[in-house]
Amino acid sequence: MGDQPKLFIDAVIAELHALAKISAADPPVVTRVVFSQADLRARAYVKDLCTKAGLTIHEDAIGNTFARWQGSDPSLAPVGTGSHIDAIPNAGLYDGCVGVLGGLEAIRVLQKLGFKPRRSIELVIFTSEEPTRFGIGCLGSRMMASVLTPAQAEKLRDKDGRSLAEVRSKAGFTGTLESVALPAGRFHQFVELHIEQGPELEKEGIDIGLVTHIAAPASQRIVIEGEGGHAGARLMPGRKDALAAAAELILALEAAAKTTGAIDTVGTVGICDVFPGAVNSIPSRVHITTDIRDIDSARRDRVLDALLEACSEVSARRGVTITTELINADPPATCDAAILDALEASAIAAKKSYKRMVSRAYHDSLFMARIAPVAMVFIPCRGGVSHRPDEYSSPEWIGSGVHVLSRTLATLAV
């Protein structure tokens, strides 16, 4: 495979811009919430491109879309690539879409070069990677990997109270949710192209990030109940100030996350609601949510344990009641060594600079890792900006990603 003709990249850039115009907001803003009119039109656009490339399309009961380039031995499990085309409100045009249209382009490049895959290559467009509508991210891949059960999915409601069942059937996706789950082995391997959504690659002037681990959050909701009262009349001895207790927990989390000895451990309290929230009133109730992330689940769980220990210690010492509820704790993923080696060889052959790195955000690949060996290819994005209308990745960066992906698919599919 020689240097990729520029023509191919022009096509994918034009398609990215055409897809961006299918949005509930005016350009350059992209807003494409799952099963909205914009989402359905965008799906139709991408499916049409896939059909034109000779791919066979199959959709599951939740709208995950599989576009297959049939290999010479259809009995073999396919190699998968792909990402998502839904977008949060006020987003840009690269997140997710680069992995879908870039994945399609990688297939078309191989077709034009006359490559004949032995394994089929399947482009996957995952439903609702973004949590906008149902409050849960990676809905499609989560269900594929049976991390979210059909019974749990049936309970999901959007902000207007509409059930997933109602919304998906209106969008034309029927069939039982049980049929969405895929067995391990359904995909031989899976590789996702994505913009970094962080600043490292651009800052270091590197073309390609080879993702070795995908970090995942554990999120906890903590409610502290103390005793309110007049800020002047109630003297300090014997106070049960819920916010002072919360402050200790926030610092305990920070200390625990800082002392694991690993740079990859992060702990954050991003929500702190204080009741009654008056200047002259002792806080009687506080709700905080914690977010702990790591690439190593045991290490992440040790921070979580330290936080829970602090909860019981603070509760006993201050005489406040503390209740904790685990909102989610998805396991982090380790990427597959063989795919990473294939990616590295492809980057070298394509004369692209590369480095191995961690994905701090999570992606559909986190869940695909439960049923298939996975890896991810990152390309730079300007200033590390993502989930904003000014999100940008240059045609050269996208071209590099497509080039490395196409070489890798060719390696994996023989």
Q: By the criterion CB under 5 A, which residues form the site for Zn ion? A: 95-96
Report the nearest approach of Zn ion to the CB of residue 96 (Å). 4
Token look-up 């949060």 returns 88
Q: Strand 266-275's sheet: what is its strand order? A: 266-275, 285-294, 216-225, 321-329
Least distance (Å) from Zn ion to the CB of residue 104? Answer: 16
Q: At its nearest, how many Å lie between Zn ion and the CB of residue 404?
A: 18
Distance CA 334, CA 369 (A): 8
Cα separation, 185 vs 178, in Å, equals 18
Shortest CB 18 distance to Zn ion, Å:
19
Q: 66: closest CA among 76, 75, 78?
A: 78
Which residue has its beta carbon closest to Zn ion? 96
Q: Which residues contact 315 (CB under 8 A, 6 or more apart)?
A: 245, 321, 322
Nearer to Zn ion, 60 or 95 (CB): 95
Minimum distance of Zn ion from residue 103's CB (angstroms): 13
The least CB distance from residue 361 to Zn ion, in Å, is 7
CA–CA–CA angle 354, 352, 408 (5° rounding): 85
Number of other residues whose CB lies within 10 A of the CB of residue 394: 14
How far apart (Å, rounded) are the C-alpha atoms in residues 275 and 285? 5
Residue number, 96 or 332, with CB nearest to Zn ion: 96
| CB of residue 349 to Zn ion, shortest distance in Å | 27
- Which among 107, 92, 111, 89 is positioned nearest to 34, based on CA atoms? 89
Residue closest to 387 by CA, chosen among 83, 95, 2, 45: 95
Whether 119 and 188 have beta carbons less than 8 Å apart is answered as yes
Q: How far is CA 329 from CA 201, 265, 303, 305, in A?
A: 28, 14, 13, 13
Instruction: Collapse the DSSP code of 136 into the 3-class scheme (helix H, G, I; strand E, B; otherwise coil) and give the result.
Output: coil
Q: Is the Cβ of residue 117 or residue 134 nearer to Zn ion in the bound state? A: 134
**Cβ-based nearer residue to Zn ion, 314 or 358:** 358
- Residue nearer to Zn ion on the CB measure, 100 or 314: 100
Cβ closest to Zn ion, residue 97 vs residue 180: 97
Which residue lies nearer to Zn ion by CB, 95 or 225? 95
Number of Cβ within a 10 Å radius of residue 245: 25
Q: Which residue lies nearer to Zn ion by CB, 22 or 322?
A: 22
User: Which three-class secondary structure state does DSSP give residue 184?
Assistant: coil
